[in-house]
Structure 1
Amino acid sequence: MRTPPVVPKDEWEAAHARLLVKEKELTRARDALAAQRRRMPWLAVEEEYVFEGPRGRATLLDLFEGRRQLIVYRAFFEPGVHGWPDHACVGCSIMADQVADVAHLNARDTTFVNVSRAPQADIERVKARMGWTMPWYTMTDSFDADFGVDQWHGTNVFIRDGERVFRTYFVNGRGDEALGSAWAYLDITALGRQEEWEDSPEGYPQTKPYEWWNWHDAYSDTGPTAGQEQVRRAVGSGLLED
C-alpha cells in the first residue's frame, strides 16, 4: 500500500486549506442543485394506490400522515430476495440503518416511509430484529412498476395540495447512497430545508436557520430549547459557518 507522505504540521494545514477550497465549492454546487430540485415541475398522481400498514389499508395520501411532503424508499424485502425471510436485501438494510430519526423530518412537515412487498407480519418482525422504527408499508398494486422501483431500489418524493398528490423527485442507483441524514432527505424535497438562506421560489415556507432544531423527543414542546439557544449563540459568534 503506497501511502501519502508524512509532513510537518504547517504543510499538513496548508494541504488541508487547499482541499477546503474544493470542499466549499462542492457545498455551493450541492446547494445550487437542491435549488434546482425545488423548481422541478410536478407530476400529478392520478391513480389511487393502496398499501397495507400496521393499522390496515392505506392509500398513498394516507402515507403522508397529514403532513405536506412524503419520501418513499422502495426496500427489497420479500420472497425471492436474498436474505428472505430473516433479512431485507443487504443494500436496502444498509440504507435502513442510515435513516436519521424521522422526527426531524416530521418537524419540517415531511413523512418518511419504506415500502416492500413483504406481508406486514414479516415487516414488523424484521424491524424488531434490526431495530428499525420508520413506518413501513406493504405494496399491493403497481406502485413499484409505475414509479421505477420494481427492479431496483429507489426513492420517490411527493407533495400534496389538499387531497391532490404530486410526484416531485426521484433518485436511485448511487444517488441513494448519500441519503440518510435529515439534511440530505430535505434537500431532495420540493420545499427543501425551509430555511431563509435557501434559494427557493417566492412564497415557499421558510424560517430562520437552526431555529427549528430540537431533540428528537422534544419537537412537541413549545418555545426554544436550551440546545436551540446554544446553537443561536454559536451562530451569532461565528462558530457555526456553512
Structure 2
Amino acid sequence: MATSVIENAKVVSQEEWLAARESLVAEEKRVTHERDALAAKRRRMPWMAVEKKYEFEGPNGKASLLDLFDGRRQLIVYRAFFEPGVFGWPDHACRGCSLGADQVSNLTHLNARDTTLVYASRASQAEIERLKKRMGWTMPWYTITDGFDVDFSVDQWHGHNSFIRDGDKIYRTYFINSRGDEAMGNVWSYLDMTALGRQEEWEDSPAGYPQTPPYKWWNWHDEYASSGSTDPRWAKVVDNAKVTLNL
C-alpha cells in the first residue's frame, strides 16, 4: 500500500507556516527579478533579417509571413504538430501541442501591445478548422506550405519564433522551444519573449523603445477597440494602488 501523503508532510502552527511562507516568497521575488533581467537581455538580442519569402495557407487563401502580422508590429508563430504521422491524427493534434493550445489566453490583450500570435501546422485549412471547432480554439492557425519549419528550427519539434517588422522588412528576434514552451499561454510570457517586451515604463529596455505606464493600458477584452485612451477612472484606481504594488 502506498504511503499516505500526510505521513511525509510537516504540520506546524500558523505562526510557523507564515514564517516559512515569507522565506519562500523572498526566493520567489528573486526569481521574478531574475526573469525580468532575462527578458531585458532578450530585448537586446541581435535581430536576424528574414530574406526568404514564405507562403502559408490561411482561412482567406494564400498569405505571406508579412500577412501573418495582421498589420501589427510584432508576430509570434507557434509551430504545432497536426498533420499525417503525428500521434492523434486525424482526430487530434499532438497531445503536447494541444495542451499548449488549451492554455492560450484571450489574444485581445496581446494585440493591444501591437503583437499577433498565430499557430502553424502542415495540415490543410479544412482539417485545421475542423480541429479548432472540435476543441473550441480560436487563435489564427495557418498551413505551412514550404520550408518555413525547417528554416526556423521547428520541423522536428514544437517552438515559438518571434518576429518584428519595420515596414515590409521582417526580422527574427527570439526563439523558445522544449521546456520553455511550458510557460507560454499567457500575455506576459508572450510579451516577455518579444523584442519590445511588455512596453511598460518600469522595464529595462533600450532607448527609444515604446513604453507606457504599467497597468493603465489594461482593459476589458471587449472594449479595447472602443477605448482609444486610458479611462481616467481606471487611472485613478491604479494611482491610488501604487503604494501597495510591487513591480
* TM more than 0.5: yes
- Matched-pair contact (CA < 8 Å) for 1:70–1:110: yes
Q: What amino acid is aligned across from residue 38 of structure 1 in structure 2?
A: R
Specify which of 238, 241, 245 is matched with residue 235 of structure 1. 241
Residue 54 (1) aligns with residue 59 (2): yes
CA distance in 1, matches of 2:155, 2:62: 21
Matched residue SS, 1:215: coil
CA distance in 2, matches of 1:227, 1:175: 38
1:87 matched residue in structure 2: 92
Matched residue SS, 1:123: helix
CA distance in 2, matches of 1:51, 1:102: 21
1:60 CA drift (Å): 0.2
Q: What amino acid is aligned across from residue 215 of structure 2 in structure 1?
A: Y
2:226 matched residue in structure 1: 221
- Matched-pair contact (CA < 8 Å) for 1:210–1:228: no
- Matched-pair contact (CA < 8 Å) for 1:235–1:241: no
1:179 matched residue in structure 2: 184
Specify which of 35, 40, 43 is matched with residue 38 of structure 1. 43
Q: List structure 1 segments (4+ residues) > 6 angstroms apart after TM superposition.
A: none
CA distance in 1, matches of 2:10, 2:58: 55
Matched residue SS, 1:124: helix
2:147 matched residue in structure 1: 142
1:233 CA drift (Å): 4.7
Residue 115 (1) aligns with residue 117 (2): no
Unaligned 5+ segments in structure 2 are: none
Residue by residue over 1:76-124, the C-alpha shift from the partner in whole angstroms, topping out at 9 and shown as x without a partner, is 0011111111111100000001111111110000000000000000100
Higher mean C-alpha displacement, 78-87 vs 38-47: 78-87
CA distance in 2, matches of 1:234, 1:9: 31
Specify which of 189, 205, 211 is matched with residue 194 of structure 2. 189
TM-score, with length taken from structure 1 = 0.96
- Matched-pair contact (CA < 8 Å) for 1:118–1:138: yes
CA distance in 2, matches of 1:189, 1:203: 16
1:236 CA drift (Å): 3.1
- Matched-pair contact (CA < 8 Å) for 1:214–1:225: no
Residue by residue over 1:119-157, the C-alpha shift from the partner in whole angstroms, topping out at 9 and shown as x without a partner, is 000100110111100000000000000000000001000
- Matched-pair contact (CA < 8 Å) for 1:72–1:156: yes
CA distance in 2, matches of 1:97, 1:159: 26
TM-score, with length taken from structure 2 = 0.94
After TM superposition, the structure 1 = structure 2 runs for residues 92-111 of structure 1, keeping only pairs within 5 Å, are 92-111=97-116
CA distance in 2, matches of 1:235, 1:221: 25
Residue 28 (1) aligns with residue 37 (2): no
- Matched-pair contact (CA < 8 Å) for 1:77–1:117: yes
Matched residue SS, 2:161: strand
Task: Indicate how the Cα distance of structure 1 residues 91 and 234 shifts in structure 2: closer, same or farther if over 3 A, else same.
Answer: farther
Unaligned 5+ segments in structure 1 are: none
Q: What amino acid is aligned across from residue 22 of structure 2 in structure 1?
A: A
Matched residue SS, 1:195: coil
Residue 200 (1) aligns with residue 205 (2): yes
User: Number of residue pairs matched?
Assistant: 241
Q: What amino acid is aligned across from residue 242 of structure 2 in structure 1?
A: G
